[in-house]
């Protein structure tokens, strides 16, 4: 068993990664981030997912901690943090693959991974796990394989552990998986998808029209499964 820091957003992908890390026998330090997102539903879901897994894997999972990164809200530039910017709705596959939407938060994954690498050094963790996906996603630059490769290079150059011969590895097990395959794998290992939240907008139920909702719905449809989060 090795120690792993896992980024938990409350969404489908990060819940799957957390489940995979636990199923592989790692001891996990879960972290979620408050970067000034306009709704806190995903933070609530992150806590619910971690509580679920703590009951299932009590000896392998630390308490969820929230890292405050509110300067990202002050920087602006994203519909996820700025109420004056509208979340794009009903985008086509072509639009998702060619144009990065205003829901992109500038520098977010780089900042999150940098913080996670710091935590990993303090916790003597061998890896940082993140749920990025380069196939069924909204076109974000920081979800591509070359980005993860570059950040792994940074991790090897920037840490005391790496200089001492024990580099921290950024783990992205979903990187080359379709949303369908992610859901099938997660269902196999018992990921509580009913507790997750993927919608870019808050409210009592998902909007069904933003990129994240569209990709999630399509993933469940292609997997031949019903989304358990919509059954209540």
CA 203/CA 206 separation, integer angstroms? 7
Mean pLDDT across the stretch 126-153? 89
- The model's pLDDT over 189-225, given as tens digits with 9 standing for 90+, comes to 999 999 999 999 877 889 999 999 999 999 999 999 9
pLDDT confidence of residue 202: 77
Mean pLDDT across the stretch 149-155? 95
- The model's pLDDT over 81-102, given as tens digits with 9 standing for 90+, comes to 999 999 999 888 777 777 788 9
- The model's pLDDT over 156-179, given as tens digits with 9 standing for 90+, comes to 999 899 999 999 999 999 999 999
pLDDT confidence of residue 201: 87
CA 58/CA 199 separation, integer angstroms? 29
High-pLDDT (> 70) share of the chain, %: 97
pLDDT confidence of residue 91: 85
Cite the DSSP H helix spans in 88-134.
Answer: 93-98, 108-123
Confidence check: pLDDT of 3 > 90: yes
CA 42/CA 8 separation, integer angstroms? 9
Mean pLDDT across the stretch 120-126? 96
- The residue among 133 and 96 whose pLDDT is bigger is 133
> Where along the chain do its domains lie?
3-230
pLDDT confidence of residue 138: 66
Name the burial class of residue 17, with classes exposed (0-12), middle (13-18) and buried (19+) by CB atoms within 10 angstroms of its CB: buried
pLDDT confidence of residue 1: 60
- The model's pLDDT over 18-72, given as tens digits with 9 standing for 90+, comes to 999 999 999 999 999 999 998 889 999 999 999 999 999 999 999 999 999 999 9
pLDDT class of 232 with cuts at 50, 70, 90: low
CA 135/CA 175 separation, integer angstroms? 7
CATH 3.40.50.620 fits 3-230, yes or no: yes
pLDDT confidence of residue 96: 73
pLDDT class of 108 with cuts at 50, 70, 90: very high
């Amino acid at each position: 068993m090795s120690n792993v820091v896992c980024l938990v957003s409350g969404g489908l992908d990060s819940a799957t990664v957390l489940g995979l890390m636990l199923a592989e026998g790692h001891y996990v330090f879960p972290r979620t981030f408050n970067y000034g997102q306009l709704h806190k539903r995903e933070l609530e879901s992150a806590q619910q997912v971690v509580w679920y897994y703590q009951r299932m894997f009590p000896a392998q999972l630390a308490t969820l901690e929230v890292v405050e990164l509110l300067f990202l809200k002050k920087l602006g530039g994203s519909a996820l943090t700025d109420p004056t910017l509208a979340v794009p709705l009903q985008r086509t596959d072509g639009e998702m693959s060619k144009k990065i939407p205003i829901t992109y938060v500038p520098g977010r994954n780089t900042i999150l991974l940098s913080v996670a690498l710091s935590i990993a050094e303090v916790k003597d963790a061998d890896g940082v796990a993140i749920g990025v996906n380069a196939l069924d996603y909204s076109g974000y630059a920081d979800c591509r394989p070359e980005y993860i490769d570059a950040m792994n290079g940074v991790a090897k150059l920037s840490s005391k552990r790496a200089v001492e011969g024990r580099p921290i590895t950024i783990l992205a097990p979903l990187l080359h998986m379709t949303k369908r395959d992610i859901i099938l794998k997660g269902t196999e290992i018992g990921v509580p998808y009913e507790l997750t939240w993927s919608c870019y907008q808050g409210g009592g139920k998902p909007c069904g029209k933003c990129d994240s909702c569209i990709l999630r719905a399509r993933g469940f449809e292609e997997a031949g499964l019903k989304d358990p989060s919509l059954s209540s």
